[in-house]
Amino acid sequence: MRPRVRQTIGQRVIIIGGSGSGKSTLGEQLAQRLGRPFIELDALHWEPDWVPATEAIFRARISAATAAEAWIMAGNYTSKQQHISWPLADTIVWLDLP
């Protein structure tokens, strides 16, 4: 018998991996299935016309988004945000496709 996802995954999940590895797809599906907010780091990082947000704005957006008790986050930007989100996460999924 397959374990139920709710019983085997933490409350605060980060999904990372290479470009095109399926981070957003998995994150959206998992968030929907578990009824948790989905945090897409690309949406927090980019301003209109693909202008990157300043580091201060990006970090503030991440801090606000991760204030909830439970969430699913997808994206990289490790050097800019890992010190904020990783200590809060109880599950990190690394997608490593061939």
What tens digit of pLDDT does each residue of 63-78 get?
Answer: 999 999 999 999 988 7
- Which element (helix H / strand E) includes 41? helix 41-45
What tens digit of pLDDT does each residue of 34-69 get?
Answer: 999 999 999 999 999 999 999 999 999 999 999 999
Which residues constitute the domain of residue 81?
5-95
pLDDT value of position 81: 78
Sign of CA dihedral 86, 87, 91, 96: positive
Q: Is the pTM of this model over 0.75?
A: yes
**pLDDT-based confidence at residue 84 (cuts at 50, 70, 90):** confident
Structural domain total, the chain:
1
Structure tokens at 56: 């201060």
User: Residue 62 and residue 6: Cα distance in Å, rounded?
Assistant: 24
The CATH number assigned to the domain holding 17 equals: 3.40.50.300
